[in-house]
Amino acid sequence: DIQMTQSPSSLSASVGDRVTITCRASQSISSYLNWYQQKPGKAPKLLIYAASSLQSGVPSRFSGSGSGTDFTLTISSLQPEDFATYYCQQSYSTSITFGQGTRLEIK
């Protein structure tokens, strides 16, 4: 299986900060990479698909980049509602895998 490793595992930041979360694949996955946001007790929400395409309705402060093995999710100016856990997910293989998650907390 393709292993997805996110860094950091947790992150403290303030409203207005620019934040970057990294996801690394154990082998090249081209651009077959999606990002999700999950708040406690809620289902995941799709933010970015195909590495850099913004899902409809998602604020433009979210952006994704990368290809091959290294990917990033950037939040340009953190808002209070952005404090959550973020997951990357690869669909290059039919054995789909998620990263372990990055918990974004208020500083």
Partner 1 sequence: EVQLVESGGGLIQPGGSLRLSCAASGFTVSSNYMSWVRQAPGKGLEWVSLIYSAGTTYYADSVKGRFTISRDNSKNTLYLQMNSLRAEDTAVYYCARGVAAAGFLWFDYWGQGTLVTVSS
- Cβ-Cβ contacts under 8 Å for 68 (sequence gap 6 or more): 25, 28, 29, 30
Residues in touch with partner 1 (CB under 8 A):
1, 31-32, 34, 36, 38, 43-46, 49-50, 55, 87, 89, 91, 94-101
The rounded distance, in Å, linking the Cα atoms of 70 and 43 is 26
Burial class of residue 23 in the structure, from the number of CB atoms within 10 Å of its CB (0-12 exposed, 13-18 middle, 19+ buried): buried
Nearer to partner 1, 14 or 94 (CB): 94
**Shorter beta-carbon distance to partner 1: residue 31 or 69:** 31
- Smallest separation, CB 32 to partner 1 (Å): 6
State in angstroms the smallest separation of the CB of 36 from partner 1: 8
